[in-house]
Amino acid sequence: MCGIVGYAGTRECGDILIDGLRRLEYRGYDSAGVAIHTTNGVERVRAEGKLANLERAFRDTPLHGTVGIGHTRWATHGRPSEANAHPHMVDGFVVVHNGIIENHMELRDELEAGGDRFESETDTEIIAHLVARERPKTDSLLEAVRNTMAQVRGSYAVVVMNADEPDLMVAARQASPLIVGLGDGENFAASDVPAIMMHTRDVVFMNDGDFAVIRRDSVEFSDTSGAPVTHTAKRILWDPVSAEKQGYKHFMLKEIHEQPDRIIDTMRGRVSLETNHVHFPDMALDDEVLSSVKRIIILACGTSYHAGMVGRYAIEKLARVPVEVDLASEFRYRDPVIGEGTLIVAISQSGETADTLAAVAEAKRRGAKAIAICNVIESTLTRVCEGTIYTHAGPEIGVASTKAFTTQLVALYLLAIWLAQERGTQEPAERIELLEGLRRIPGQIEKCIQDEARIREFARNYVDVHSFLFLGRGMQFPIALEGALKLKEISYIHAEGYAAGEMKHGPIALIDDDLPVVVVAPRNEHYEKVLSNLEEVKARGGRVIAVTSEPAGDVLRHADDVMTIPEVPELLQPLVTVIPLQLLSYCIADIKGTDIDQPRNLAKSVTVE
């Protein structure tokens, strides 16, 4: 969850590191720090809180040097504080780390018994102590780091420097992302591409078990045994502008507005205009495996899980394959049964979510094949799966997922249509109609987004409430869950999503004028039933916000506030009903003045359990 950046070159690196951390702040933002080789050895500046605090501290105490490392933290062991902020330093050995050292307690006990004194509550400081202990016994810093990492259990991306070896840093990766950027007379380490892409676009994605010695004019890779490893750099082609706010007040708002274009990107090259066939030219999984699928298990967390729930409806309806959807964090511990012909579809924006990775590993261990629906190119998930359907949403910086969700839905629809096409379970005419419907979606989302000003007006009436209920049926149930998740994560208002049919089995007891109920009721086969649920809420004095198809008709009579969507094919409705819910959450949070892009306690990629 933390962000790492390292630089070895000829330029002053303070600003390079801090600028890189700014682009990684989505990974964690409770404290930050940098350490730089200066004429006095290695010196550090650290600060609790947002990166702005580190920038201020660095301005007050600037450090000058051309080799350094930086870190932005999401606390796992030890509260957010300056003492717990990275880099950690022991006898001139300096470490930044992303991940979790699982055997930190026993290692700490052992080190303390040997006389080591700890300055922080973190698991990371152990690495600095171990490197300091190992270095005198070995020939090189690389060997010391290798011997250290052999003693720790868990996940890590680490970069280590030594005050006595000012021209190099050593990086190591195990189950946490780490890349090396190759420049001209300068080289970089980072957790993610945006941190360094204004300096170089030639990037090596390190593998688990890789070590790298990074100097200004060379990078050498090796494995856990010390054998050299050869990597070919990949050229990053995407545009850095997509990682900027471009005049929007928040990344989340920008990302909501981007959805029409990103959905076009998700479909690009996958739907033939001539034959109206779906194909995945970039997915390296042979057609035979995919078309012999007997059962699909979708694994994901959070918003991606909600996308998976929608995907289940689409795949079962079109391709007639039984689909289960499981929270990755539950699946990995429930001794799952994987029969022959089981295909795992793992969904993740980041491709680094620890639970999703572990669930896929568990399924593969039991013989399943796995494909990923993922946004981040070359992320860990894409490398452990047999094939990937990239969503091409571009960098999503806002912690609350928006464009990642709708592009995941489009990828799932395409997968469902493709399976149906290969298995012959859908009439070609129906496929053509559905694909035409998909092509119209970007324009229809655009139309929903234009409702923002009106939604903002009535959102004012809801900023002081303490709790919301979201109701939906069928494919709108996951949308109700997603609406509730969006609202709670950015506005800090409690919200619960419920299957509308379950309301009478409990939640109806909560209804009074203090609990606004958002009812997702587009015109579809469940419309009448959801309308009855809406009336049941009104009859008990509840306030109703409805999402429905235009013209709003009957709903207008019962709802206090209405958000409409254009007429779209029923199967595709989730792609548009979610838009007003994203905007409602955004407007309520914006009026409340919360930190929308970096809500408290959260981080963009959850790389720990």
> Residue count at the site for ligand AGP (CB under 6 A)?
15
Annotate each residue in 384-423 with x if it binds ligand AGP (CB under 6 A) or - if it does not, as one string: ---------------xxx----------------------
Nearer to ligand AGP, 211 or 331 (CB): 331
Of the residues 186, 606, 607, 608, which one makes contact with ligand AGP according to CB under 6 A: 606
- Give the gyration radius of the chain's Cα atoms: 25
CB 400, min distance to ligand AGP, A: 4
585 binds ligand AGP (CB under 6 A): no
Asked if 316 and 322 touch (Cβ cutoff 8 Å), the reply is yes
Of the residues 125, 210, 386, 489, which one makes contact with ligand AGP according to CB under 6 A: 489
Nearer to ligand AGP, 195 or 400 (CB): 400
Nearer to ligand AGP, 328 or 568 (CB): 328
Of the residues 148, 407, 573, 605, which one makes contact with ligand AGP according to CB under 6 A: 605
In angstroms, rounded to a whole number, what is the distance separating the alpha carbons of residues 246 and 85?
Answer: 31
Question: Among residues 373, 212, 208, which one has the least CA distance to residue 285?
Answer: 373
292 SS3 class: coil
353 binds ligand AGP (CB under 6 A): yes
Amino acid at position 313, single letter: Y
Nearer to ligand AGP, 487 or 545 (CB): 487
Determine phi and psi for 87, rounding to 5 degrees. Answer: -70, 150
Phi-psi region of 312 (alpha: psi -120 to 50; beta: other; left: phi over 0): alpha
356 binds ligand AGP (CB under 6 A): yes
Question: Which residues make beta-bridge pairs with 187?
Answer: 8, 182
Asked if 89 and 37 touch (Cβ cutoff 8 Å), the reply is no
In angstroms, rounded to a whole number, what is the distance separating the alpha carbons of residues 267 and 414?
Answer: 8
Q: Which stretch in 210-218, 342-350, 447-455, 590-598 sits in contact with ligand AGP by CB under 6 A?
A: 342-350
CB 356, min distance to ligand AGP, A: 5
Question: Among residues 179, 403, 420, 230, which one has the least CA distance to residue 314?
Answer: 420
461 SS3 class: helix
For residue 135, give the DSSP letter. G
- Please give the positions annotated as active site: 2, 604
Closest-approach residue to ligand AGP (CB): 302
CA-based diameter of the chain, in Å?
79
Question: Among residues 176, 595, 184, 229, which one has the least CA distance to residue 350?
Answer: 176
Q: Which of residues 129-158 bind ligand AGP (CB under 6 A)?
A: none
In angstroms, rounded to a whole number, what is the distance separating the alpha carbons of residues 180 and 193?
Answer: 9
In angstroms, rounded to a whole number, what is the distance separating the alpha carbons of residues 205 and 231?
Answer: 8
349 binds ligand AGP (CB under 6 A): yes
Give the tokens for residue 399: 């912690």
> Tokens 């994901």 appear where?
300
Nearer to ligand AGP, 84 or 379 (CB): 379
Give the tokens for residue 220: 């050498």
Annotate each residue in 275-314 with x if it binds ligand AGP (CB under 6 A) or - if it does not, as one string: --------------------------xxxx----------
> Tokens 């957010």 appear where?
80
Question: Among residues 186, 166, 139, which one has the least CA distance to residue 65?
Answer: 166
CB 328, min distance to ligand AGP, A: 8
588 binds ligand AGP (CB under 6 A): no
Nearer to ligand AGP, 72 or 582 (CB): 582
Annotate each residue in 230-259 with x if it binds ligand AGP (CB under 6 A) or - if it does not, as one string: ------------------------------
Nearer to ligand AGP, 216 or 486 (CB): 486
CB 567, min distance to ligand AGP, A: 28
Q: Which stretch in 42-50, 349-357, 384-392, 557-565 sits in contact with ligand AGP by CB under 6 A?
A: 349-357
CB 44, min distance to ligand AGP, A: 31
In angstroms, rounded to a whole number, what is the distance separating the alpha carbons of residues 328 and 384?
Answer: 15
In the complex, the residues that contact ligand AGP under the rule CB under 6 A are 301-304, 348-350, 353, 356, 399-401, 489, 605-606
